[in-house]
Amino acid sequence: MLDIVEQAPAALPVILAATRWPLDAALALLQLPFNDLLYQAHQVHRQHFDVNEVQLSTLLNIKSGGCPEDCAYCPQSARYDTGLETTGLMTVDAVIAAALQAKAAGATRFCMGAAWRSPKDREVEQVAQLVSAVKDLGLETCVTLGMLKPKQADRLKTAGLDYYNHNLDTSPEHYGNVITTRTYNDRLETLDAVRDAGINVCCGGIVGLGETLQDRAGLLCQLANLPTPPESVPINQLVRVEGTPLAEVAPVDCFDVVRTIAAARIMMPNAFVRLSAGRSELGEAGQALAYFAGANSIFYGEQLLTTPNPQQNEDRELFLKLGIRAMAGTA
């Protein structure tokens, strides 16, 4: 497999289309000289996408805090004192107003997140109404609500849901060091329910959870080797929040994030690879490298679920410098 990775990039996507990624091949990718890795990733990106287009999504926190999970990075966990205010589910009118604002700013996908471990059927029904309202505005829709049952996924599909986000976060081996209140298999079962319902899968992970390079390779293998790889792959850099167990973990290097994005692009050539949380910490040069390496989606707006994001005018200025344009919507 390593021989395949080291072949000319033009041959790479054809070979990988019928190949499962073993761990040693993914690890070898991440260990390539930086320029070689970026060269291969950019070639793959250029074969599958317009390299000067980036898809813009906006993320809205529609229900904040009070989650019973113990995800060690998450300020929305009820187990940690992070000063986060707990709020109830937003109204339809409030969500529509936010979606209209996002659309006017150039976003084509509107993502809604609610801090649940596993929503009740009545809660899924409430979110389904929000999905339908946003879909009627001509936006792609995405939600992240925690674990789903098959019938709940079906209901969201009938409401018009385009994407469901449910990240694997890290490798199976490192997962228990970060989360103990749900298993890795729980997450995979939710992905199966979403896929079976005909909803696009948005699934990625976080760089900076105290994982090893092998753990990063393991995460990418889990994603790329799903029965159908995710259509959207968010690569997050840990945002260290005071009060969470990972608040004092050593920060990751910019180049580690870019390497992960590049490997994701090579291993999942047809996916939108989203430069996600922690983007503001990369700076303009780091973001430019990430776009070159294959990132072609971002969250656009000044706030993610609970953490800051680059301001829209900063993104527009960087796009202008790089000659990047926003991707047109498909909803």
Report the percentage of the chain scoring pLDDT > 90: 65
Tell me the β-bridge partners of 206: 236
Q: Roughly how many angstroms between the first and final C-alpha of the chain, as a whole number?
A: 38
- CB-based contacts of 230, cutoff 8 Å, min separation 6: 200, 201, 202, 203, 204, 223, 268, 271
pLDDT digits (tens, 9 = 90+) for 118-157: 899 999 999 999 999 999 999 999 999 999 999 999 999 9
pTM summary value:
0.87
pLDDT tens for 69-109 read 888 888 878 787 777 778 888 999 999 999 998 898 888 89
Active site residues: 67, 71, 74, 111, 142, 202, 274
Structure tokens at 236: 């997050």
Query: What local confidence, expressed as pLDDT, does residue 302 receive?
Result: 54
And the tokens for 70? 């113990």
- For residue 238, give the DSSP letter: P
The rounded Cα 293 to chain-centroid distance in angstroms is 16
pLDDT band at 213 (very low <50, low <70, confident <90, very high): very high
Amino acid 299: pLDDT: 83
**Exposed e or buried b per residue across 292-316, where buried means at least 16 C-beta atoms within 10 angstroms of its C-beta:** bbbbbbbbbbeebbbeebbebeebe
